[in-house]
């Protein structure tokens, strides 16, 4: 195998299986992202706050179990965690169409499904982000993360349109079955991966879960760059969680959009993420791997202010435009910051580092969802969308005030960091 072929990852068998499985499951997950709240709104006639609570349940596990999940993942084989995470989500999500077929579907089950699927997603995400550095070389991480980001963006483009068509044709509850099938495909693809990460050295010392969790948190919160990136992402996720919680309600009850139109709007908006993923590596090399982390958000976050000005009819395109720009910026930002933290973290700490970051940045999303549902009820949906745009734009202040602002590229060694004045 030539060096050029290897560098592009197209001939990396194990990565291609991981990437293929993720691509299929991302499409299915995007179908559920649209279908699950529509089940609550159209089938169960849930209130704005109840829909917000459902969105909160989806991400609440990141707040509840992410930290111990990181410590456990560092003890286990990452590939096994991926397999169990995918297989479990097949069963959990498959229960929704089954319950609807027997006329026993209710809000309590939707909340339970969201929570259980969220727990499995926590373990899966922590494991796969920790597994990737063992699967590909260090200098391939940016390309690998960009490809995985492209899969997520592709799912967000194809999923809503597919979801809208499925909801219109078969009903929201039965559309969730597509997600269950997609995780089945991902399970088969992961099983085909031959690569195994090396086992961590075993010691005779007793394992202390709290001490292991503290080690991961300490690494993140004491790092001069990571802690600022975490603050930025946590703030942005809080307000995006609030906006997402009321998005379906805003589109259905204020803009009177049909499921098909909603799916189309979300797909058009998510195309920005796909574009960002395709060009993330080239943009980072041209602009700088440090500079792009804050610049990607500073340029695109203000487009969020288009959302509260959307109106019935073709005015929904304002939402599509806002989502297009924000998605593009988010994917470029995430590709850069995830690659950076994977590169700087010791292998023995990867699971706990990723779990700590997920706890801190995704843990704000259920809080944001609850806030979005409450503010949407008290202040109205348009005002809440405007407040979310303000918060999303302000999140960039975290990284602008960090050592990243004066740097072009992220330091790759301790000596380079000292030379640049990074403690």
Residue 142 is assigned to a structural domain of this protein: yes
pLDDT at 423: 43
**Rounded CA separation 227/123 (Å):** 22
Residue 17 confidence (pLDDT)? 93
Cα–Cα separations (whole angstroms), residue 182 to 119, 168, 194, 365, 381: 18, 20, 21, 25, 33
Q: Is residue 355 part of a domain?
A: yes
Query: Does residue 205 sit within a domain?
Result: no
Neighbours of 313 (CB within 10 A): 11
What confidence score (pLDDT) does residue 96 get? 93
* Gap between the Cα atoms of 239 and 387, Å rounded: 8
pLDDT digits (tens, 9 = 90+) for 297-350: 999 999 999 999 999 988 999 999 999 999 899 989 988 888 778 777 887 888
Rounded Cα gap, residues 95 and 93, in angstroms: 5
pTM for the structure as a whole: 0.72
Q: How confident is the model at residue 412 (pLDDT cuts 50, 70, 90)?
A: low
Which of the 8 DSSP states describes residue 43?
I
- CB of 168 closer than 8 Å to CB of 258: yes
Identify which of 422, 157, 402 has the alpha carbon closest to the alpha carbon of residue 297. Answer: 402
Rounded CA separation 344/288 (Å): 17
Q: Is residue 2 part of a domain?
A: no
Is 166 a member of any domain?
A: yes
With cut-offs at 50, 70 and 90, classify the pLDDT of residue 418: very low
The distance between the two most distant Cα atoms of the chain, rounded to a whole number of Å, is 67
pLDDT at 414 over 70: no
Q: Which domain holds residue 139?
A: 9-195+212-419
pLDDT band, residue 47 (cuts 50/70/90)? confident
* DSSP-assigned states of every residue in 218-248: HHHHHSTTHHHHHHHHHHHHHHHHHHHHHHH
Domain count, the chain: 1
Q: Provide the pLDDT confidence category of residue 233 given band limits of 50, 70 and 90.
A: very high
* Rounded CA separation 336/293 (Å): 6
Q: Compute the distance between CA of residue 54 and CA of residue 59 in angstroms, rounded to an integer.
A: 9
Q: Tokens representing 10?
A: 């197209």
Q: What is the CATH number of the domain that holds 169?
A: 1.20.1250.20
Closest by alpha carbon to 341, among 171, 190, 211, 227?
227
Place of tokens 């929201």: 172
Give a yes or no: residue 202 inside a domain: no
Q: Would you say residue 181 has pLDDT above 60?
A: yes
């Amino acid at each position: 195998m030539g060096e050029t072929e290897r560098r592009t990852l197209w001939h990396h068998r194990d990565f291609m299986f991981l990437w293929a499985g993720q691509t299929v499951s991302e499409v299915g997950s995007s179908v559920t992202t649209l279908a699950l709240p529509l089940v609550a709104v159209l089938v169960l006639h849930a209130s704005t706050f109840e829909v917000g609570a459902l969105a909160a349940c989806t991400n609440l596990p990141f707040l509840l179990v992410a930290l111990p999940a990181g410590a456990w993942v560092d003890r286990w084989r990452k590939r096994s965690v991926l397999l169990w995470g995918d297989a479990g989500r097949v069963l959990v999500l498959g229960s929704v169409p089954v319950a609807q077929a027997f006329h026993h579907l209710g809000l309590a089950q939707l909340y339970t499904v969201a929570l259980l699927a969220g727990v499995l997603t926590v373990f899966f995400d922590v494991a796969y982000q920790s597994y990737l550095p063992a699967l590909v070389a260090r200098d391939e991480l940016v390309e690998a993360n960009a490809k995985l980001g492209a899969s997520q963006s592709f799912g967000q483009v194809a999923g809503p349109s597919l979801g809208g068509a499925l909801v219109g044709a078969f009903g929201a509850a039965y559309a969730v079955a597509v997600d269950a099938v997609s995780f089945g495909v991902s399970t088969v693809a992961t099983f085909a991966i031959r690569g195994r990460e090396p086992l961590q050295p075993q010691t005779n010392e007793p394992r202390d879960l709290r001490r292991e969790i503290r080690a991961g948190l300490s690494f993140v919160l004491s790092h001069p760059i990571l802690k600022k990136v975490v603050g930025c992402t946590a703030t942005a996720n809080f307000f995006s969680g609030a906006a997402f919680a009321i998005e379906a309600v805003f589109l259905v009850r204020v803009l009177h959009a049909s499921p098909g139109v909603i799916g189309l709007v979300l797909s058009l908006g998510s195309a920005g993420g796909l574009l960002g993923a395709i060009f993330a590596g080239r943009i980072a090399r041209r602009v700088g791997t440090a500079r792009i982390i804050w610049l990607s958000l500073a340029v695109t976050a203000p487009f969020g202010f288009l959302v509260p000005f959307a109106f019935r009819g073709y005015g929904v395109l304002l939402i599509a435009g806002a989502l297009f720009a924000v998605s593009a910026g988010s994917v470029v930002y995430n590709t850069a910051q995830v690659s950076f933290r994977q590169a700087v973290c010791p292998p023995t700490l990867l699971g706990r580092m990723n779990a700590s970051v997920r706890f801190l940045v995704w843990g704000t999303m259920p809080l944001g969802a609850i806030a979005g549902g409450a503010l949407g009820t008290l202040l109205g949906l348009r005002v809440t969308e405007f407040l979310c745009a303000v918060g999303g734009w302000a999140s960039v202040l975290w990284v602008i005030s960090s050592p990243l602002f004066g740097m072009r590229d992220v330091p790759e060694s301790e000596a380079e960091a000292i030379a640049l004045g990074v403690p």
